[in-house]
Chain A
Amino acid sequence: MKSNNGIKFLTPAVSPGNHCPMRIASVNVEKIKGLSSLLVGMPECATHSRLYNPKPEGRNGELHWLYVLDAQEVVFGCRNGLIDALRKMDNAGAKAILMIVTCIPELIGEDIQAILNEVQPELSARITFVMLGQFKNISYPPGSWKTMEALGMLMDGKATDSNRINVLGRAPEEEHIPLPSLLPALTGRGIALRYLAPGSSLEDFQSAPDAVLNLVVSPFMQPLAARMEQEFGVPYISLHTLYDVESIDKAYRALGERFGYSWDGAFDKERQEALTLQKQAEKRLGGLQYIFFPRIDIPLPLAVYLTKLGMEPLLLHLEEYYPEDREYAKELTDMGYNPWICRMVNAQADLPILKKLAPDLCFGYLPEPNKTIPCVPDLFDFYGQVGYARTNHLLKRILSILNEISIAEKGGTVHGAASI
């Protein structure tokens, strides 16, 4: 498998299937303060986008408007209509506009870049766009990473601030997600952090090229980091793909060396805990076969980690095959494993197949609770977390599920009265 196209459906009848990338783009754009959007598509896309971005105007003057193609535009293109729409949004006070282009305008080959080249000089608002036809972007991740990457077009080069680091993949206010200990450690050494993700402001994004470094903590932000490196020379370090203690050690050491810092044992406690848990996990997980269900953000790096702990991958659901996944796929095959890759789009039809494979453990989201398949659910909640603490949380969760299974296998309950 070399790309997204290589991921086949496990069973053919889609019900209900994956989210459309348009949905995720609509959700994300609504969360960026100051950014307006223009969704371009058919009545279906325009109507359904309102499920997730319901109001035409935001609290801070954002406009979230819709452009619907008519029968004539499907045949002859919508260039004039779009230019007129952008002018109207500009006049209405939009500061910057992200055009979310859906299936039909992408299918008819509307040249959005040419439209922008033509109209941008006369507009005050900066315009960018993202092509999200679902026939090319089968699942939802492009709605995140392509949208974030498109925001690079709104940035301009700036003088570098040697004390500024962007954290790509967390919003400024995300109290419900634990803060990786690395971030306060950096702040404590005089580094100013700028958080970039849905939840940040347009201004944050536009100022981002002044940073000396980008730290990536979510897969959805890596393409923007790559773009910023290429266009503005801001280097990046990816932390979201690192699970094992050794690779986290290496990344933190490199980061310290880059700034001339010594971490002074700031992470010793959580690192030691991670080492202990890793050893326990190796003992408990060794030889167990596993399957990945949907809703795992970083499947191949996680698969590599679990396999290094001694587990055997049987079947992996992938929402998206990122370019960097090739390296992780190679790591898996180098370890002697070549698991099946699929896309699960019909839970009811898929379930009998998954049961037949009889995995020891599954990871991810199973729509219908099925106790015959032991599962480590809810891996989405590691969003925005990296480092030793994330590894600790992950391993604790896996080990606790294993404990539950072994209790169930022993029969009876641990607590309560017994008969004579």
Chain B
Amino acid sequence: MGLHRFKPLPSGRMGILWTLASIRGAALVEFGCMGHMLYSGVTLKRAGVHNACKLYSTHIDETDIALGGTERLNHTIDNVVMRDHPRVIFLLPSSIPEVIGTDLPALCAELQQEYPGVRLLPFGYGGFNVTQHRGVQEALLLLAKTLAVGVKRTQEPTFNIIGSCADLFRFQADAMELVRIMEGTFGIKPLCVMTSDTSITEIENMGGAHINLVIRGEGEPAAKHLQQCFGTPYLLGRPYGIDGTTRWLDQIAQIAGLTADAAFLKAQREISRQQLAAVMPSFRHIIRAHPEEAVLSLGGHADVVRGILSFGCGEFSLGKGTCWCDCPDMTSEDIPYFSEEQWTQAVQKHQKGYLMASGEALEWAGRNTELQISNPDTKWRLHPYEPPFMGFRGAVHLVNLWINENIED
């Protein structure tokens, strides 16, 4: 990791926490110093996560460390069970127990028999070489493996969204847009929006869905597990743009054997195109006469970057600028991982065109922070009803951002 000027790549422990913290009907206990959970709570509130999982910490002091004391964990669990009656308690290690080698799964196994009505679920992947994205992946997989139970397929078709987690920028708005277009196109409702808008009960019942919509690579192992256990087919992808969203819906229809409401789809496409019509001549002019200004540079989660790029450079004919992702495990030839030094250089070098990246990067570079597509964020996001990036409405939103950038230029 080394020297940083900006926020470093978050740890796997942080990824796990951000994935679990939005689940209702559960409590989350972190074994470690209390400051971390306090500021994680602040970060989650800033991201717009409210009234979901109750967050606790045990704290740990030097005597606990020296003597390997875990009584604080026992007392905390006892207190949480007594006061909150959660269905499930997620247990997370923090960095200190990782260093001293506290065996959280063993402690949970020992304590479980004292609380027959409460599931104690320890999470691993707290090691120091595990990054945020791996943490998210493992958390999603463990939830699917341990909580989802064998239930009958729902009589009416239903779907799950897998991978809508609090670590992604504007995660709630994007999930809501997907739910809206799924309801409109197929008349079906979600069983579980994993994990940004869900509960323990909904995760338990997710095996009843007719299709799993996996909106980030980290969700695929969970979807594969659900396919294996319950035979639920899945689609991996994030729908961006008008045509991109239509294609995504076509794939869902094929995989799940659903019939799309052609009138709804037609209306959505028409409305979107009408909303874009006023600015299309400007874009055509820029693309034709000033191609150096019609370039799209993107930095963020690999799947988000790929999705927006496919809309901007495919459907919308912009040129591809410098694009990078924020996770070394997701690096690819077309969207490589950029270290802090690389992305700061890329941002500084960016002269013309549209630069969409993290709030932290845009703010530091004095760029338009309206073009934020990824975290780290620098602002509060109290309400979840901001415009999305995905879906039909997301397409209009993205174009709106680009045209305003032209005006500001």
Q: Which of A19, A50, A88, A138 contacts B376 (CB 8 A)?
A: A50
Give chain B interface residues in 5-25, CB to chain A under 8 Å. Answer: 5-11, 13-14
User: Which B residues are in CB contact (< 8 Å) with A44?
Assistant: 10-11, 13-14, 36, 39-40, 94-95
Closest CB in chain A relative to B343 CB, distance in Å: 13
Closest CB in chain A relative to B221 CB, distance in Å: 23
Closest CB in chain A relative to B79 CB, distance in Å: 4
User: Which B residues are in CB contact (< 8 Å) with A12?
Assistant: 58, 72, 75-76, 78-79
User: Which A residues are in CB contact (< 8 Å) with B2?
Assistant: 67-68, 70, 81, 84-85
Q: Can you list 5 residue pairs at the A/B interface with Cβ under 8 Å?
A: A9-B59, A12-B76, A18-B35, A47-B14, A50-B6
A47 to B8, CA, bound (A): 7
Q: Is the CB of B36 within 8 A of A14?
A: no
User: Which A residues are in CB contact (< 8 Å) with B76?
Assistant: 12-14
Known: A70-B1, A70-B128, A134-B33. A16 touches B55 (CB 8 A): yes
Stretch at the interface among A102-110, A252-260, A370-378: A102-110
Q: Is the CB of A43 within 8 A of B9?
A: yes
Kindly state whether residue B83 has any CB partner on chain A within 8 Å.
Answer: yes
Other than A16-B34, A47-B10, A50-B7, give 8 A-B pairs with Cβ distance below 8 A.
A15-B54, A17-B57, A43-B14, A44-B94, A51-B39, A54-B378, A56-B364, A68-B8
4 nearest A-B residue pairs (beta carbon): A20-B35, A17-B34, A68-B1, A71-B128
Q: Is the CB of B4 within 8 A of A65?
A: yes
Q: Is the CB of B42 within 8 A of A51?
A: yes
Seen from chain A, the residues whose Cβ lies within 8 Å of a Cβ on chain B are 5, 9, 11-23, 42-48, 50-51, 54-57, 65-71, 74, 81, 84-85, 88, 103-104, 107-108, 133-136, 138, 345, 348-349
Kindly state whether residue B61 has any CB partner on chain A within 8 Å.
Answer: yes
Kindly state whether residue B62 has any CB partner on chain A within 8 Å.
Answer: yes
A23 to B35, CA, bound (A): 9
Q: Is the CB of B60 within 8 A of A14?
A: no
User: Which A residues are in CB contact (< 8 Å) with B57?
Assistant: 14-17
Give chain B interface residues in 49-72, CB to chain A under 8 Å. Answer: 54-65, 72
User: Which A residues are in CB contact (< 8 Å) with B61?
Assistant: 5, 135-136, 138
Q: Is the CB of B95 within 8 A of A104?
A: yes
User: Which B residues are in CB contact (< 8 Å) with A42?
Assistant: 11, 95, 128
A100 to B127, CA, bound (A): 23
Q: Which of B9, B36, B127 contacts A48 (CB 8 A)?
A: B36
User: Which A residues are in CB contact (< 8 Å) with B80?
Assistant: 13
Kindly state whether residue B129 has any CB partner on chain A within 8 Å.
Answer: yes
A349 to B76, CA, bound (A): 11
Closest CB in chain A relative to B159 CB, distance in Å: 33
Q: Is the CB of A107 within 8 A of B127?
A: no
User: Which B residues are in CB contact (< 8 Å) with A65?
Assistant: 3-5
Q: Which of A20, A66, A349 contacts B4 (CB 8 A)?
A: A66
Kindly state whether residue B396 has any CB partner on chain A within 8 Å.
Answer: no
A68 to B62, CA, bound (A): 22
Which residue of A is nearest B98, CB measured? Answer: A74
Q: Is the CB of B54 within 8 A of A46?
A: no
Q: Which of B6, B34, B83 contacts A56 (CB 8 A)?
A: B6
A318 to B57, CA, bound (A): 19
Q: Is the CB of B83 within 8 A of A13?
A: yes
Number of interface residues of B (CB under 8 A): 56
Closest CB in chain A relative to B36 CB, distance in Å: 5
Known: A17-B35, A47-B7, A81-B2. A104 touches B75 (CB 8 A): no
Known: A46-B7, A50-B7. A135 touches B62 (CB 8 A): yes
Closest CB in chain B relative to A135 CB, distance in Å: 5
Q: Is the CB of A19 within 8 A of B38?
A: yes
Kindly state whether residue B37 has any CB partner on chain A within 8 Å.
Answer: yes
User: Which A residues are in CB contact (< 8 Å) with B72?
Assistant: 12
Which residue of B is nearest A42, CB measured? Answer: B95
Q: Is the CB of B95 within 8 A of A46?
A: no
Closest CB in chain A relative to B145 CB, distance in Å: 26
A54 to B1, CA, bound (A): 19
A50 to B376, CA, bound (A): 10
Kindly state whether residue B280 has any CB partner on chain A within 8 Å.
Answer: no
Q: Is the CB of A345 within 8 A of B59?
A: yes
A81 to B128, CA, bound (A): 16
Q: Is the CB of B8 within 8 A of A345?
A: no
Kindly state whether residue B109 has any CB partner on chain A within 8 Å.
Answer: no
Give chain B interface residues in 70-90, CB to chain A under 8 Å. Answer: 72, 75-76, 78-80, 83
Kindly state whether residue B279 has any CB partner on chain A within 8 Å.
Answer: no
User: Which A residues are in CB contact (< 8 Å) with B208?
Assistant: none
Q: Is the CB of B56 within 8 A of A13?
A: yes
User: Which B residues are in CB contact (< 8 Å) with A18?
Assistant: 34-35, 38
Q: Is the CB of A104 within 8 A of B38?
A: no
A180 to B388, CA, bound (A): 54
Q: Which of B29, B42, B59 has the most CB of A within 10 A?
A: B59
A11 to B129, CA, bound (A): 35
Q: Is the CB of B1 within 8 A of A69?
A: yes
User: Which B residues are in CB contact (< 8 Å) with A74?
Assistant: 99, 128
A9 to B37, CA, bound (A): 16
Which residue of A is nearest B54, CB measured? Answer: A15
User: Which A residues are in CB contact (< 8 Å) with B353?
Assistant: none
User: Which A residues are in CB contact (< 8 Å) with B100?
Assistant: 107
Q: Is the CB of B39 within 8 A of A23?
A: yes
A299 to B72, CA, bound (A): 27
User: Which B residues are in CB contact (< 8 Å) with A348?
Assistant: 83
Which residue of A is nearest B30, CB measured? Answer: A14
A66 to B63, CA, bound (A): 28
A210 to B76, CA, bound (A): 52
Kindly state whether residue B43 has any CB partner on chain A within 8 Å.
Answer: yes
Kindly state whether residue B96 has any CB partner on chain A within 8 Å.
Answer: yes
A143 to B38, CA, bound (A): 16
User: Which B residues are in CB contact (< 8 Å) with A85?
Assistant: 2-3
User: Which B residues are in CB contact (< 8 Å) with A138?
Assistant: 59, 61
Closest CB in chain A relative to B48 CB, distance in Å: 16
Closest CB in chain B relative to A112 CB, distance in Å: 16
Kindly state whether residue B321 has any CB partner on chain A within 8 Å.
Answer: no
Kindly state whether residue B219 has any CB partner on chain A within 8 Å.
Answer: no
Q: Is the CB of B3 within 8 A of A67?
A: yes
A20 to B129, CA, bound (A): 24
User: Which B residues are in CB contact (< 8 Å) with A107?
Assistant: 65, 96, 99-100
Q: Is the CB of B13 within 8 A of A136?
A: no
Q: Is the CB of B79 within 8 A of A48?
A: no
Kindly state whether residue B122 has any CB partner on chain A within 8 Å.
Answer: no
Closest CB in chain A relative to B84 CB, distance in Å: 9
A15 to B39, CA, bound (A): 11
Known: A17-B37, A65-B4. A5 touches B63 (CB 8 A): yes
User: Which A residues are in CB contact (< 8 Å) with B37?
Assistant: 14-17
User: Which B residues are in CB contact (< 8 Å) with A349?
Assistant: 79, 83
